Structure 1
């Protein structure tokens, strides 16, 4: 497999160095690398990836972000990291569009219209900072910040401080920057929206719109990087898509039973996982 030096994209996964990708490629040969006919092992791998996709969709369907924290670390035991990133980015994009279009009236236009321009600005800033920023120190600082917010969300779910609308611009810029640098664009949007006076339906739909924009941009970036120019990631994503849709269906059933306070706590748990993941990657 051609080694690609990775920088992190929006959402959610680390940006390993070239030798790491070579290691994964050698340990986990690309699916169906022997030809067009799937082997018994490929079918077993697909079944395992389908189970992973189901779990990731449940997480995404409830909290609106964080699925890559679950899917990618598990998937790289089965397939090379670039293939896992490409495949699950396609599935996350599908999930975001599915949730965003399922209840568009609940998406608060005033909120996402403030956030989206910031994402564009933040992405440009992030691409500029990639060259000179001490990434480990910045990643550790972001991890600590996200972890502190997570603790506040979990401990004070029923009485989180409502922030002013102007913070939306900072959330958008922050999400664009962290998405480009660390692949963790979701936490800034989730932090801001969970501290606005929104119903749980408004929170999820509005976050889904932001995620639709962010992940769709990531798909374009992956196409430019060459990861989505072959049919395999598209076909494998299509093969496990039913499991992902089943996960979204299960999440919608669970979501209807969760209170707003419960949702904020769930978001806090995923923020904590994001913060810990960033710290581990920074210190590792």
Structure 2
């Protein structure tokens, strides 16, 4: 990690990834929050990238909840959170053993297909048990590679929530998930002080990203917001597929 601290490419990728993640969380319900880990994985091992990003996600979650908490849909949260918690348990048991390439490729393909095929929304997101399916997948993929945004957004897009309700609900959902993920991450015994110090150094960048996201979403209408979410879902899926093919 000491070598990374003096690597300009590491800080450039971290800056880009963290700012985009912050904008995504507070402006687009986490639709592109998957970008930080794949970018950092270009210059560091994926487990270290995952550990580095988690404290930043928690800070972003706090700010997002602070911005939108009064608009949250508690029925939707009650529907998806239990499944997500089960997914986190499964992901915690699989940490370090699940082939990341297979996970990235599967999630990337699902994201791309959904983003390009608008009629898939009521089929995938509105199916019986959709909250359990996508909530569980979100908890699993979030624990392994912080890629919980695309699965839960498949469900939320189908629910056709108003923009602020979507942002608030997603913010609280991710806040609960990321706080819970601290437990399995600590149990791995691989969350080093050097990685945590790098996270602290990037906190101002995380706060800047969430501030930008809030101001960007306030200038976008609901229809454009939905299109942006689909675009971010497509971009996330493509990035995951590229990452899977390169390893």
Match for residue 271 of structure 1 among 229, 233, 240: 233
Residue 203 of structure 2: aligned partner: 241
Find the residue that maps to 1:280 and give its secondary structure: helix
Residue 226 of structure 1: aligned partner: 189
CA distance in 1, matches of 2:201, 2:100: 36
CA distance in 1, matches of 2:232, 2:115: 8
Q: CA offsets, 1:8-31, max 9 Å, x none? A: xxxxxxxxxxxxxxxxx6xx7253
Residue 73 of structure 2: aligned partner: 108
Indicate how the Cα distance of structure 1 residues 54 and 109 shifts in structure 2: closer, same or farther if over 3 A, else same.
Answer: same
Residue 172 of structure 2 corresponds to residue 206 of structure 1: no
* Alpha carbons 1:223, 1:229 under 8 Å: kept: no
* Alpha carbons 2:25, 2:64 under 8 Å: kept: no
Matched positions, count = 244
* Alpha carbons 1:56, 1:247 under 8 Å: kept: yes
Residue 4 of structure 1: aligned partner: none
Find the residue that maps to 2:220 and give its secondary structure: coil
Residue 60 of structure 2 corresponds to residue 95 of structure 1: yes
* Alpha carbons 1:57, 1:67 under 8 Å: kept: no
Q: What's the offset of the Cα at 1:102?
A: 2.5
Please say which structure displays the higher CA radius of gyration. 1
Q: What's the offset of the Cα at 1:91?
A: 0.6
- Higher RCO (CA < 8 A, seq sep 6+): 2
* Alpha carbons 1:151, 1:272 under 8 Å: kept: yes
Q: What's the offset of the Cα at 1:141?
A: 4.1
* Alpha carbons 1:30, 1:83 under 8 Å: kept: no
CA distance in 2, matches of 1:57, 1:133: 27
Q: CA offsets, 1:221-263, max 9 Å, x none? A: 2222234352x33333223212221221111111101112222
* RMSD, aligned CA: 3.5
* Alpha carbons 1:30, 1:80 under 8 Å: kept: no
Indicate how the Cα distance of structure 1 residues 233 and 66 shifts in structure 2: closer, same or farther if over 3 A, else same.
Answer: farther
* Alpha carbons 2:33, 2:149 under 8 Å: kept: no
CA distance in 2, matches of 1:76, 1:141: 18
More helix per residue: 1 or 2? Answer: 2
* Alpha carbons 2:92, 2:185 under 8 Å: kept: no
Q: What's the offset of the Cα at 1:214?
A: 1.8
